[in-house]
Amino acid sequence: MEKIYQYIKDHATTPSEALEWVEKQTHIRTNHPRMLSGAVQGQVMRMIAQISGARDILELGTFTGYSAICLASALPEDGHLDTLEINDELEDLIMEGFDRAGLADRIDIHIGDCKETLQKFREEGRTYDLVYIDANKREYCEYYELIFDMVRPGGIILADNVIWDGKVCMDPLPQDKQTLGIAAFNDMVSKDPRVESVIIPLRDGLNMIRRKA
């Protein structure tokens, strides 16, 4: 699988210098570089955002800003991305990456608890064309309920890590809270008549969900 992934990476569009910088700094300055979206998934998400014509994007879980840069780079000049991150220690790294990518004017980072920020956004009446979920795996179901009415009809929700190292397929299902949270989320989405969805087996699984018009 590693050889296949490398082949795919070698034949995809080369990441920008800013993305390569973020990837390098993530390995140097964080303890969990595996959380990075990476070149292939980043390009897939960028193309989904571009093809969908998204003008307003919401991201839950910035980490070091790699995926935010990928998504924001697909926005038109008047487009905007809100990204939510709980770890304030990452803010300087994130902002430097945005500056290097020339996208700082299109992205607002909101530091704090994700659910609290989402509730505030709901009260403000914010709406989005695309939402990317990659925050606390225990809370995916709650995020889904909070963001759903903010997604415009025909809009897209992307949820990362939905295969969760294959744990969601195990029988019996592991009982750790992360696995239970992801499994419950996948079940919720698959049974939701308001959407159509498909899990793409890319890296750790990407659930692509479209809100019906």
Quickly name the fold that domain 2-211 has.
Rossmann fold (3.40.50)
Residue 52, token pair as written in the block: 């969908």
Residue in this structure with the two tokens 């590693």, named with its chain if needed: 2
Residue in this structure with the two tokens 């087996």, named with its chain if needed: 201
pLDDT for position 201: 94
What's the rounded Cα separation, in Å, for the pair 157 and 60? 11
Q: What does the DSSP 8-state code read for residue 129?
A: E
The closest of 211, 161, 208 to 181, measured between CA atoms, is 161
Residues 6+ apart with CB under 8 A from 73: 16, 46, 101, 103
Diameter over CA atoms, the chain: 49
The closest of 75, 61, 52 to 211, measured between CA atoms, is 52
- As a residue count, the chain comes to 213
Residue 32, token pair as written in the block: 């969990």
Backbone phi and psi for residue 53, each to the nearest 5 degrees, phi listed first: 75, 25
CA 32 remoteness from chain centre: 16
Residues 6+ apart with CB under 8 A from 1: none
Residue in this structure with the two tokens 């795919």, named with its chain if needed: 8
Q: What single letter denotes the amino acid at residue 208? A: M
Q: What single letter denotes the amino acid at residue 106? A: R
Q: What share of the chain is helix, strand, coil (3-state, %, to 5)?
A: 50, 20, 30
The pLDDT averaged over each successive group of 10 residues in the chain (213 residues) is: 88 95 96 89 97 98 97 97 97 97 98 97 98 98 98 98 96 97 98 98 96 94
Residue 77, token pair as written in the block: 């000049």
pLDDT for position 213: 87
pTM here is: 0.96
